[in-house]
């Protein structure tokens, strides 16, 4: 009888544990590559067509002033996933192996696995040059799409201009990698799970090449494209460090010389519309999912993108266009549909907000604040500015009213975002704004780690790999 009671107690405890797990919210973690503020809900470019992203924005709280930790794929993603800023890790650029600076106990995935979650993903979450699949319980591999991206439409002139790659394709939507990546997410949303899940879906477009089926190009006739706000002498009051980042004699000169500025923008808009279609597929599956009422959605993009503003293309800069990107949250029982938050936040808030919402203790190394108060009340007071870092000791601080950029050599820029949203007038040299600069500079890091990737770090990574191989063999 005692043995029977003991068994019943164990079974009861297990049932209680599973019931507790079932109450933990699931997470749908959607990452988009190179998507700037050209989405419908931000009204920054009315040519764009993103009905599904706008649909998601209406489901919860949409942020209008949200900024990346770094305007480059690898450091942006490494910072967001680790909870540590580039200045802390030394991961500043695409050639810095983030695995050397971020051990397995630090990432967001580990925090969720330790809390009993099934952690799975597909597509681009980290920069794919450096993979660490051991962080995941399941990950979709062999996404393909490469051959289809090379089948150019008969209407394609070529594959783009210099390094700016764009062309319509002769293929089906389903042949590209992002379609398959989305399908993995759809399948996970439809499954029964015996544990709460953390599901990451990372879409590549509108990362270059902007190669998508012809029909997406047809939505944006090149002759009707409107150019972004542009000032011919925009770089005249920018210090040498800023001009060096703009690289006006590079991509921008090539685009102008080829007379294909509108065509390039057409390609970006087409690739964005293609991604929006996949978001629609994912949301349709979410609406049908048995997990819908207990699943948090966070939608983020790794950074923005210039399309000729400041004579610059791509990311790799500290101005508004390169650093601003969409951020959307849907949290059952907390967010209300149609919420708009105009407070300034950066993506270092994503890690601590997710752990906060899911009842997981915030790891000590995580640097950002939880924005849960803003999800509950989008107009709540908030005085923490956004911080973006590009390469060693170059930082931009963005408040609701200002942007202050300070480069490693001491060069500065200051913009009044209320009266000068295009950042055309650099006020950094005007003494009347010294107090403003001093106040904003308080948010800049006081310690900047050297770039990761030294010899000792590489040796340590090799030692770790040998240990894992030996343990696996045994």
What CATH number is given to the structural domain containing 176?
A: 3.40.720.10
Residue 17 has pLDDT above 60, yes or no: no
By residue range, what is the domain housing residue 56?
24-376
Report if residue 19 sits inside a domain: no
In a domain, 441, yes or no: no
Summarize the confidence of residues 416-429 as an average pLDDT. Answer: 98
Average pLDDT over residues 389-410: 98
What pLDDT does residue 313 have?
A: 98
Instruction: Answer yes or no: is 16 within a domain.
Output: no
On whether residue 108 sits in a domain, the answer given is yes
**What is the pLDDT, as a whole number, of residue 7?**
39
Predicted local distance difference test score (pLDDT) of residue 451 = 96
Q: What letter would DSSP give residue 287?
A: H
**Domain assignment present for 429:** no
Instruction: Please identify which of the residues 44, 68, 120, 127 carries the catalytic annotation.
Output: 127
So what's the pLDDT on residue 474?
59
Residue with tokens 């913009």: 415
Give the pLDDT band of residue 469 (cuts 50, 70, 90): low
pLDDT of 339 above 80: yes
Residue 455 lies in a domain: no
- 5 against 249, higher pLDDT: 249
Residue 453 — very low, low, confident or very high, per pLDDT cuts 50/70/90?
A: confident
pLDDT of residue 23: 83
Q: pLDDT tens across 266-322, in order?
A: 999 999 999 999 999 999 999 999 999 999 999 999 999 999 999 999 999 999 999
- Residue 466, pLDDT > 90, answer no
Residue 256 covered by a domain: yes
pTM over 0.85: yes
What are the helix (H) ranges across 197-259?
A: 214-218, 240-246, 253-258
Q: Is-contact 67 346, C-beta < 8 A?
A: yes
- Please state the rounded mean pLDDT for residues 94-113: 97
pLDDT tops 70 at residue 14: no
Residues above pLDDT 90, as percent of the chain: 90
Q: What are phi and psi of 155, to 5 degrees?
A: -85, -5
**pLDDT of 13 strictly over 50:** no
**Residues 75, 298 contacting (CB under 8 angstroms):** no
Whether 421 is in a domain gets the answer: no
Q: Residues 68, 73, 120, 301: which is the catalytic one? A: 73
Work out how many domains the chain is built from and give that number: 1
Concerning whether 44 is annotated as a catalytic residue, the answer is: no
pLDDT at residue 94, rounded to an integer:
96
Q: CA 334, CA 105: separation in Å to the nearest integer?
A: 29
Contact 474, 438 (CB under 8 A): no
Q: According to the model, what pLDDT value does residue 166 have?
A: 98
Average pLDDT along the chain:
93
pLDDT tens digits, 40-96: 999 999 999 999 999 999 999 999 999 999 999 999 999 999 999 999 999 999 999
Q: Active site includes 127?
A: yes
Give the pLDDT of residue 465.
59
Beta bridge partners of 205: none
Mean pLDDT of 380-394: 98
């Amino acid at each position: 009888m005692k043995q029977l009671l003991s068994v019943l107690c164990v079974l009861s405890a297990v049932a209680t544990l599973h019931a507790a797990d079932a109450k933990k919210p699931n997470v749908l973690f959607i990452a988009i590559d190179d998507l700037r503020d050209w989405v419908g809900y931000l009204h920054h470019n009315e040519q764009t067509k993103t009905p599904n992203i706008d649909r998601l924005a209406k489901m919860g709280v949409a942020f209008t002033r949200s900024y990346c930790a770094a305007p480059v794929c690898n450091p942006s993603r490494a910072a967001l996933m680790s909870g540590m800023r580039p200045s802390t890790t030394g991961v500043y650029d695409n050639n810095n192996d983030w695995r050397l600076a971020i051990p397995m106990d630090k990432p967001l995935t580990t925090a969720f696995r330790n809390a009993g979650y099934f952690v799975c993903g597909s597509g681009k979450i980290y920069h794919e040059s450096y993979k660490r699949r051991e962080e995941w319980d399941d990950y979709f591999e062999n996404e393909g799409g490469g051959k289809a991206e090379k089948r150019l439409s008969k209407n394609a002139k070529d594959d783009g201009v210099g390094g700016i790659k764009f062309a319509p394709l002769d293929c089906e939507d389903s042949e590209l990698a992002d379609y398959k990546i989305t399908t993995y997410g759809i399948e996970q949303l439809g499954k029964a799970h015996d544990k709460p899940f953390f599901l990451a879906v990372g879409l590549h477009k509108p990362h270059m090449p902007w190669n998508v089926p012809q029909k997406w190009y047809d939505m944006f006739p090149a002759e009707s494209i409107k150019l972004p706000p542009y000032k011919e002498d925009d770089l005249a009051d920018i210090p040498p460090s800023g001009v060096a980042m703009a690289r006006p004699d590079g991509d921008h000169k090539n685009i102008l010389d080829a007379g294909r500025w509108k065509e390039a923008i057409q390609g970006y808009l087409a690739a964005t519309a293609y991604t929006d279609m996949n978001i629609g597929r994912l949301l349709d599956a979410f609406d049908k999912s048995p997990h819908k009422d207990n699943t948090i959605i966070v939608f983020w993009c790794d950074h923005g993108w210039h399309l000729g503003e400041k004579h610059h293309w791509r990311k790799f800069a500290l101005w508004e266009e390169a650093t601003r990107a969409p951020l959307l949250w849907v949290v059952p029982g907390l967010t209300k549909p149609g919420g708009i938050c105009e407070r300034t936040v950066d993506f270092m808030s994503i890690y601590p907000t997710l752990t906060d919402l899911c009842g997981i203790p915030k790891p000590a190394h995580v640097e950002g604040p939880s924005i849960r108060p803003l999800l509950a009340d989008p107009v709540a007071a908030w005085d923490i500015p956004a911080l973006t870092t590009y390469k060693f000791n170059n930082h931009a601080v963005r408040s609701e009213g200002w942007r202050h950029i300070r480069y490693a050599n001491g060069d500065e820029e200051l913009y009044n975002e209320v009266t000068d949203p295009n950042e055309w007038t650099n006020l950094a040299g005007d003494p009347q704004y010294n107090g403003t600069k001093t106040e904003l500079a308080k948010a800049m890091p006081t310690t900047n780690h050297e770039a990761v990737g030294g010899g000792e770090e590489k040796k340590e990574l090799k030692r770790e790999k040998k240990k894992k191989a030996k343990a696996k063999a045994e």
